[in-house]
Amino acid sequence: MYLIEYEGKQLFVKYGIKIPDSMIISRDEYVDPPKPSLNYPLVVKGQYPYGGRGKSGAVKIANNYEEYIEAINSIAHISVGGVKPRYILIEEFVPHEKEYYLSIIMSRKDKKPVILVSKYGGIDVEELAGKPGSLMSLEIDPLIGYSDYHAKMVSKFLLNRLDKELMDMVRRLYRLFIENDVLLVEINPLSINESPIALDSKVMLDDNAYYRHDYTQYIEYSMLASKGEQIARKHGFSFVPLDGDIGVIGNGAGLVMATVDLVNYYGGSPACFLDVGGGASSERIQRAIEVIANELNIRSLLINIFAGITRCDEVARGIVQAKKLLEEMGIKVVVRLVGTNEDLGASILRDAGFKVYKEMDVAAMEAIKNEG
Amino acid sequence: MRDDIPGLLPKNLRLLVQGITGKEGSFHTKMMLDYGTNIVAGVTPGKGGSYIHGVPVYDTIAEAVEESEANSSIIFVPARFAYDAAMEAIYNRLSPIVIITEGIPAHDTVKLVNAAAKYNVRVIGPNTPGLIFPNKYKIGILPDRYFDEGAVAVVSRSGTLTYEISMSMVNRGFGQRIVIGCGGDYIIGTNFIDILEILRRDLETKAIVVIGEIGGDDEERLADYIMHTNYPKPVVAYVAGRSAPPGKRMGHAGAIISGGMGSAESKINKFKEAGVRIAYRPSEVVEKLMEVI
């Protein structure tokens, strides 16, 4: 899960990493924003769960109160990735000549934490990778851990000297990385005029590590999923809403992704990805159908089950239990069942008037068809 | 036909099941025994002295190894205990260690994977269905009736999708030399390149099916490897997640497009450059296989 900028910065503050003096304004204050007790010029930044806000104009400079109000009014209406900002962050502008880049990532390729630094901040790390000599990467052996030579190398590379404050920042960033099960923490741009200051933050936390942290202490907005996502999370489904009109339920992440792709391949438009996981009971299947039917606006539902430990008769009973709801909402249901107890499952469904298929291609095409 | 794959599957498999008394562990121990897997011991701390499906259970791996000479392990223990379980297996030099458990924090996996490398132990997974050596044995949870022995190796990052594609292969007469899940997690112990490097020298493997998905760059690096080492066997690939939005985790912890990296398009393009045949639908894998065998 990615944190939005200001929540990432709260984490920075907790670890003693400097950020500009700032205040946060929430959605209901946009109409009548509080007068800032900060020094102009200010940077006014919309807070989005997605990247790309710079290009959308959701970051503005305000030199006085009028410009401040104007910036808020304008940013309040700018959508990035389909959402308007729930918060706007106001920061004092930090004068700086140069922007640097500093991050620690859990590298999937190297299977180690890696510190990445560059003298050219403010641009994407992918672009940096294309500039020879601009990027330094320092591996950290997870069995040994961080040692101060890492910070010395960072400081030498960026400033060609040993800067106490910068070294301290690297040390603190690594602690933040380790203690919070972070997959990526990025300061870009990093300003180092008098002392190092994080002008932006990007933090990705590990969903698998929620059980051993109380992220909620300082993280609200990033955790706030849509109602459908919350319900799915409550029941332990993997659920990702998409923008089409054909709901997709299946078992196993790869199979559900492939089913969503198949709907697209045959010219349909998938409304979601929902993985019920292995060994799903009839109640679980019923609940999954209810979540989709209630939360999304769909015209048909494609259920694709390849049963190993899952039992097709359980799946079938779950679908039958949801029949009334599906009929009321006028949702066409297409079921593809293969695997453990498939004949029993298919006969339960056929008796209840459902269409059952064996081939996923055929089922996908059937789900796309307009006529019932 | 050789009944081992050096570096991956030992000839004299003596498997230990960690978490054998749990619901999953016990059920799949039975399934594996029925399929012919030589399971010699189980470990569940606190349950030493009991038996599960005739398999003796121990409190620690050290005791189990002493009495049963186990040489490899499969792990079913819950995510928060899986790190310790894997470290114990590594300490006892069991290899391979197949980690079925889903939901292990990446920071834990990184540590155990590095420890395994240091002690020359192979880790497969986490979050994998394991592997099946058709009609010989399986170390995992794959439902065996969808597999049959043959000459095509299937290497995958997913579970049910692998069963789906394997079934369609068997229905059209293509059996499998081995089917192996590398795991759906953010960090995994054994990746596509490791497997293809091992299979390079396996004379029984005539072709390889790669089932990839969005996230990370394992597929891209595999494509480079195939191209730069003139890989001697035909490869067919399917990549799931072509319609996945960026920044969203699609079920698997590892299936996420982040920072402009890991899209299906990038993987497919790289594979094409490397001469890998691309299937755009799961059912197309068989059609592509027929072109190369």
pLDDT for residue A372:
46
Q: What pLDDT is attached to residue A236?
A: 82
Containing H/E element for A69?
helix A65-75
Residues within 8 A of B (CB atoms), A 261-280 only: 261-265, 270, 273, 275, 278
Q: Which residue of A has its CA nearest to B110?
A: A111
Best CATH choice for the domain A100-211 from the list 3.30.470.20, 3.40.50.300, 3.30.530.20, 2.30.110.10: 3.30.470.20
Instruction: Tell me what pLDDT residue A214 has.
Output: 80
pLDDT score, position A228: 61
pLDDT at A305: 96
pLDDT above 60 (res B178): yes
E strand spans, chain A: 2-3, 22-26, 42-47, 59-62, 87-92, 100-107, 112-118, 135-139, 182-192, 196-198, 202-205, 238-241, 246-250, 272-275, 300-307, 332-339, 355-357
Q: Which residue has the higher pLDDT, A56 or A145?
A: A145
Longest dimension (CA), chain B: 56
Task: Please state whether A353 falls in left (phi above 0), alpha (psi between -120 and 50) or beta.
Answer: left
> A301 pairs with which residues across the strands?
A247, A333
Q: In 3D, which of B80, B69, B20 has the Cα closest to residue B45?
A: B20
- pLDDT category of residue B109 using cuts at 50, 70 and 90: very high
Question: Is B240 in CB contact (< 8 Å) with chain A?
Answer: yes
Q: What are the two backbone dihedrals, phi and then psi, of residue A339, each rounded to the nearest 5 degrees?
A: 115, -160
Tokens matching residue A369: 């068809």
- Can you give the pLDDT at residue A52? 74
pLDDT of residue B132: 97
| Domain ranges (residues) in chain A | 21-92, 100-211, 226-368
Q: Is some CB atom of chain B closer than 8 A to the CB atom of A281? A: no
Q: What is the pLDDT of residue B209?
A: 98
User: Is residue B79 pLDDT above 50, yes or no?
Assistant: yes
What amino acid occupies position A119?
Answer: K
Largest CA distance in chain A: 78
Q: Which residues of B touch A256 (CB under 8 A)?
A: 250-251
Taking contacts as CB-CB distances below 8 angstroms, the residues of chain B near A49 are 247
Mention every residue, 6+ apart, whose C-beta is less than 8 A from residue A2. A49, A202, A203, A204, A222, B247
Angle at A136 between CA A135 and CA A138, to 5 degrees: 145
* pLDDT confidence bin for B1, thresholds 50/70/90: low
Residue A261: which of B118, B240, B248 has the nearest Cβ? B240
Higher pLDDT, A309 or B62: B62
Chain B: give the shortest CA distance to residue A69, in Å: 32
pLDDT tens profile B266-290: 999 999 999 999 999 999 999 999 9
**pTM here?**
0.94
Question: What confidence category does residue A218 fall into, taking pLDDT thresholds of 50, 70 and 90?
Answer: low
Which of B160, B248, B252 is the best residue to mutate to test the A interface, defined by the most A CB atoms within 10 Å of its own CB? Answer: B160
pLDDT at B93 over 80: yes
Q: Which residues of B touch A270 (CB under 8 A)?
A: 243
pLDDT tens, position by position, B204-249: 999 999 999 999 999 999 999 999 999 999 999 999 999 998 888 8
User: What does the pLDDT read at residue A226?
Assistant: 60
Q: Which residues pair with B6 in a beta bridge?
A: none
Q: Which of B227, B220, B193, B188 is nearest to B7 (CA)?
A: B193
- pLDDT of A55 reads 81
Judged by CB atoms closer than 8 Å, whether chains meet at A308 and B163 is answered as yes
Q: Does A256 touch chain B (CB under 8 A)?
A: yes
Q: Of B28, B107, B228, B252, which is the active-site residue?
A: B252
Q: For residues B23 and A82, which has the higher predicted lDDT (pLDDT)?
A: B23
- Total CB pairs under 8 A between chain A and B: 180
Is the separation of the CB atoms in A295 and A331 below 8 Å?
Answer: no
**Which residues between 176 and 235 in chain B have a beta carbon less than 8 angstroms from any beta carbon of chain A?**
184-187, 211, 213-214, 216-218, 221
Q: Residue A352: its pLDDT value, please?
A: 96
Nearest chain B alpha carbon to A178: B107
Q: Which residue is closest to B244 within chain A, CA to CA?
A: A257
CA pair distance B99, B25, nearest whole angstrom: 12
Model pLDDT for residues A159-171, shown as the tens digit of each residue: 999 999 999 999 9
CATH class of A21-92: alpha beta
CA distance B30 to B8: 23
Could you give the ipTM of this predicted complex? 0.94
Q: In this model, does residue B156 exceed pLDDT 50?
A: yes
* 3-state class percentages of chain A: helix first, strand second, coil last, to nearest 5: 40, 25, 35
The CATH topology of domain A226-368 is: Rossmann fold (3.40.50)
Distance from CA of B67 to the nearest CA of A (A): 31
Instruction: Categorize the per-residue pLDDT at A227 as very low, low, confident or very high, splitting at 50, 70 and 90.
Output: low
The shortest C-alpha distance from A114 to chain B (Å) reads 12
| Mean pLDDT in residue range A18-34 | 95
Tokens for A180?
């919070």
- Nearest residue to B261 via CA among B224, B220, B212, B210: B220
| B280–A contact, CB cutoff 8 A | yes
Whether A251 contacts chain B with CB within 8 A: yes
Is B161 in Cβ contact with A254 (below 8 Å)? yes
More confident residue, A236 or B2: A236
Inter-residue contact A59 to A44 (CB < 8 Å): yes
> Does the annotation count B252 as an active-site position?
yes
In angstroms, what separates the C-alpha of B71 from chain A's closest C-alpha?
24
Best of A3, A257, A276 to substitute, by most chain B Cβ atoms within 10 angstroms, is A257
Of B164, B241, B249, the CB nearest to A207: B249
Beta-carbon separation of A109 and B255 below 8 A: no
Q: Is the pLDDT of residue B60 over 50?
A: yes
Distance spanning both ends of chain A, measured CA to CA: 39
User: In this structure, what are the phi and psi dihedrals at residue B242, rounded to the nearest 5 degrees?
Assistant: -65, -25
Interface check A55 vs B, CB under 8 A: no
Pairwise CB contact (< 8 Å): B105 & A206: yes
Q: Which of A207, A250, A340 lies nearest to residue B253, judging by beta carbons? A: A207
A179 touches chain B (CB under 8 A): no
Name the average pLDDT for chain B.
Answer: 95
pLDDT one-digit tens code per residue, B67-78: 999 999 999 999
The answer on pLDDT for A129 being more than 80 is no
Q: Do B105 and A273 touch (CB under 8 A)?
A: no
Catalytic residue positions of A? 101, 186
Out of B159, B216, B248, closest to residue A254 by CB: B159
Q: Is B162 helix (H, G, I), strand (E, B) or coil?
A: helix
pLDDT of residue A326 exceeding 90, the answer is yes
**What phi and psi, each to the nearest 5 degrees, are found at residue A187?**
-110, 105
Q: What is the pLDDT of residues A264-305, one digit of tens each?
A: 999 999 999 999 988 889 999 999 999 899 888 999 999 999
